[in-house]
Structure formats: C-alpha cells, structure tokens
Amino acid sequence: MDLLKAIKERKSTRAFKPDKVSRQQIEEILKLVIDAPSAINLQPWEFIVVMGEEKERLSRRLIKLYREKQISCSPGNVKPLAENFSKRGAESFELMNPYLEKMGQDFNRFVNEGSCNFYGAPVAVIMCLDNAFSKARLVDIGIGLGYFVLIAHHFGFSTCPIGLINAYEDDMKEILNIPENKDVVIGIALGYADPESPANQFKSPRDSLDNFVKWVD
C-alpha cells in the first residue's frame, strides 16, 4: 500500500452498496489493525462485528431510538466552541448541503438517521474499551481507528466512523449483549461505497497547517 496515497484518497463514506463483506475479509483487516501501537502494549481495544440480519436489526432499533429520544450528532463540546472550530463545521455543512438537496434529504435527518443506519453499510464494527482502563486509553482506541480506516481503504473498502452510537450506549449493550464493564466508544461503517450517490461526491476540506501548529525552536 502507498500510505501517503491512501491518506490523501480516503474519505468518510455516507452511502454504501448492499454488497456483502465476508468474515475472512474483515479478519484480514483486523489482524493488521491490532498491530497498532498502544501504551505499554496494553492493546485495550475490543471489536464487535455486526453483520447480516443482526446488523439490519441493530439499525432498525437505533433509528427507532433516535426518533424517540432525538439525541443528535454533535461535537460533544461542554463549552461554546472557539470561532475557528465553528467556522470549519459551518464550511463542511455548506459543502455537503447541495449534494443532500439533490437527494431530497434534510441535513439533520440524513446525518442522524444515517449514523444510526451506518449509512447502509453491510457491516458495523463497534469499538469498545473495558472500563477498568482510564479515559487516557481512548488515545489507543483512536490510534486503532486510524489504522482501521486506512487498512480498509487499502483493501478496497470504504468506511465512516460513527460517533452517535455512544449516546445510545445502554441500548447498544442490551441489543448486542455487551457486558456492563465494557464502554461503547465508537462505531465504524464498513462496506463498498456507492459511487452514484451524491452523498459520496464531495470531500471535506482541511484547514491550513498554520492554524494547527505552534513552533517552539
């Protein structure tokens, strides 16, 4: 794999084809994902892979829960965001919205119900963390997630991290029989992108490096 090419090409997919992904293909991805680094090699990540009818059942339940509870996607901030962060979010919305209008879709419904449906992907991967670990180990989960999306891209698959499921953690535990001592951290939609969907015909821009870096010489 040309790593730099994969980093530049890869983007989050929000419309998937129904084509199945085999267990063998997913295992091939995960065997490489767990080569990711972690603090003192704790390897704290745990994966729940939901496929087939069980994935469809999960999606139906999550969409129903969203319609009942109306817990939406959000940045998860506890204080008002600085202007630079808000500006990036607004720019992404403005870029995405014309494509959603082509589909006759409202932004909020598309993003929230889409997240609950894993955007129609045939596979939902749930990343969990044992709650014996401190929240610092979420860093390792993030590293594993980064490995996952790039390795999947190398094998020709598309992905989208799904953060909204964390808001329905208690329901997820009941639906998937996840033990109480496991925290649901994030989900990943996995499958093949639908190239015909307007939802996949844009890529969010990145800000200038100058806005992220402080040099100390």
CA distance 195 to 206: 22
pTM, whole model, 2 decimals? 0.94
DSSP classification of residue 186: E
Query: pLDDT tens for residues 39-86?
Result: 999 999 999 999 999 999 999 999 999 999 988 776 665 577 788 888
Indicate the SS3 state at residue 161.
strand
Percentage of the chain modeled with pLDDT above 70: 97
What are the distances in angstroms from CA 197 to CA 55, 92, 94, 100, 112? 22, 18, 18, 10, 18
Helix, strand, coil in percent for the chain, rounding step 5: 50, 15, 35
What's the confidence (pLDDT) of residue 94?
87
> pLDDT: is 154 or 1 the higher one?
154
pLDDT of residue 33: 98
Asked if 114 and 14 count as a contact pair (C-beta separation under 8 A), the reply is yes
Collapsed DSSP state (helix, strand, coil) of residue 183: strand
**Residue 89's pLDDT band (boundaries 50, 70, 90)?**
confident
pLDDT score of 174 more than 90: yes
Task: Name the residue with tokens 């307007």.
Answer: 198
Asked if 191 and 17 touch (Cβ cutoff 8 Å), the reply is: yes
CATH number, span 3-71+84-200: 3.40.109.10
List Cα–Cα distances, 186 to 79, 145, 166, 167, 215, in angstroms.
22, 9, 6, 10, 32
Instruction: Please report the pLDDT score of residue 125 as a whole number.
Output: 98
Pairing of strands 182-191, 123-130: antiparallel
> 110-148: per-residue pLDDT in tens?
999 999 999 999 999 999 999 999 999 999 999 999 999
